[in-house]
Amino acid sequence: MDLTTLFTVLLAASGLTVLADRAIFRPRRQRGAPAANANAHANAIPSANANANAGGNANAIVPEPLIVQYARSFFPVILIVLLIRAFVFEPFHIPSASMMPGLVDGDFIFVNKFSYGLRLPVLNTKIFPIGEPQRGDVIVFRLPSNPSTHFIKRLIGLPGDRVVVRDNKVTINGTPVALKSDGVYSGGYGFTGADLALEQLGAEPHEVMFARDRYATDFEAVVPAGHYFFMGDNRNDSEDGRFPMVGFVPEKNLVGRAVRIWMNWQLPGWPDWRRIGSKIR
C-alpha cells in the first residue's frame, strides 16, 4: 500500500468515525445522560431546583470518546495532505544510479502531479486533462508489471514513434538525436571516469552518462498508441523500456513530472546542501 492509498483509508476511517458518532452514538449518550443523573441523585431529597436541573441535563454537552476527538482533529489535516499529494506535489526518493549524472542516490525530489492532468487518488482515473508529456521530460511512472513500484526515467519515445538505439545512440523516426561529448564524470558514486555527453531531445539539452565497464543495450521498436518509451540517463546502468520488466508504459501509469530536488541525504553521512533546490533538467 502506497502513502496515497494509506492517507485515503485514514481519511475515510476518520470521516466515518465522526459521522457515525454524530448520527448514532452522540444521541444515545445524550439520551442516557438524564438517566445517569437521576440515578446519581436517587437518594437525594427532592427539590424544585433538583427537578429543574434534571430536566436541563437533557441538553447538556456530553464528552466525546477519545477516538472521536482524535478523528475530528486528524480529518482536516489528512484531507489537506491528501489533496496536496494527489493533485499538486508528491515527494519521492531516488534509490538508484539509473538517472545519473542528473539525479543521484539519496536525492529527494518533488513531482508535479498536475503536469499531465488531474487524477483521482487510488483509482488513478484522469478527471481533468491539462497537458501532454513532452519528449525529454523526466517522469515518475508506475511500473506496468508491478503498479505498486514507482520508476523515474526520461521520456524518449511518444506514441507512434519508431525508436532505434544502437551503441548508445538514439534515433527517433529516422532522425538521430543530437549528442555532444561533454568530458568525463568525476563525482564518485562508483562512476568516476564515465563518459558524459549532452543530449538534445527537447528544447533544453540534458546530460547523459556512459559507464565504461558496462555493455550498451540496443533496442528497436514502434511505440504503441497510448504508451510511452523511457530510458535512464545512465544509459549502461538503467533497467528501462529496453528491458521486458519495464517495456512500454501506458498513459494511465504516469504519475507526474519531476521538477526539483528538495534534499539529498545518503545514509550514513550528512545531507549534501549543494543539491537542495536544484532544478531537474
Catalytically annotated residue among 14, 98, 115, 238: 98
Catalytically annotated residue among 113, 115, 153, 238: 153
Burial 104-132 (b: 16+ CB within 10 A, else e): bbbbbbbbbbbbbbebebeeeeeeeeeee
Cβ–Cβ contacts within 10 Å for residue 8, how many?
20
The three cell numbers locating residue 69: 476527538
Whether 180 is catalytic: no
Alpha helix locations (H) across the chain? 3-20, 26-40, 48-56, 66-87
- The dihedral formed by the CA atoms of 260, 150, 254 and 12, expressed in degrees to the nearest 10: -100
Whether 98 is catalytic: yes
What is the identity of the amino acid at 243?
F
Strand partners of residue 220: 164
Q: What is the Cβ-side half-sphere exposure of residue 250, based on CA atoms within 13 angstroms?
A: 8
- The dihedral formed by the CA atoms of 23, 28, 30 and 31, expressed in degrees to the nearest 10: 130
Catalytic residue numbers?
98, 153
